[in-house]
Amino acid sequence: MSQFDLTPPTAEQRDALVAGLSADERRVLLQHGTEAPFCGVFLDNKREGVYCCRLCGLPLFRSSTKFDSGTGWPSFFAPYDEAHIARVRDTSHGMVRVEVVCARCDSHLGHVFPDGPPPTYERHCLNSVSLSFASSGDALADPLGRGETVAA
């Protein structure tokens, strides 16, 4: 069970969070878009910490599970907590994939593929614009004001 409140934001909270997004963040997070490969701000990030949902701040992946997949997008082999992500069948673009969305706010994060490294053999391929980052030791952002003050 997650130590974080997974209750979705209220309509008012969601509107306030969406108002702070750039056009590109809206396109990816809300309209299930993707960013171009090899251009995301977190692709080459080597700092220790936690990657969180850009919209609601829920921790999604630890830097210790990040690996260089060579695909052009930040890739992780395991989520921060399996309860923090939801997997959705995606049949867009003439293929069948598994979309990964934030379990709290339903924002599009990327896709998961069965070709990652051990121990999970999964590759969570994410859009940098779907993420925020908290360096190790820093408090995680709490955009919903829920008192979630855990350090990264």
Q: Which residues are catalytic?
A: 125
Residues 54, 48: contact at Cβ < 8 Å? Answer: no
Q: Where are the beta strands (DSSP E) in 44-104?
A: 49-53, 59-62, 66-67, 75-76, 85-90, 97-102
Binding residue per annotation — 52?
A: no
Binding residue per annotation — 105?
A: yes
Going by C-beta distance under 8 Å and a sequence separation of 6 or more, which residues neighbour residue 9? 17, 56, 104, 105, 144
Binding residue per annotation — 39?
A: no
Q: Which amino acids are annotated as binding site, given as ranges?
A: 53, 56, 102, 105
Q: Which amino acids are annotated as binding site for Zn(2+), given as ranges?
A: 53, 56, 102, 105
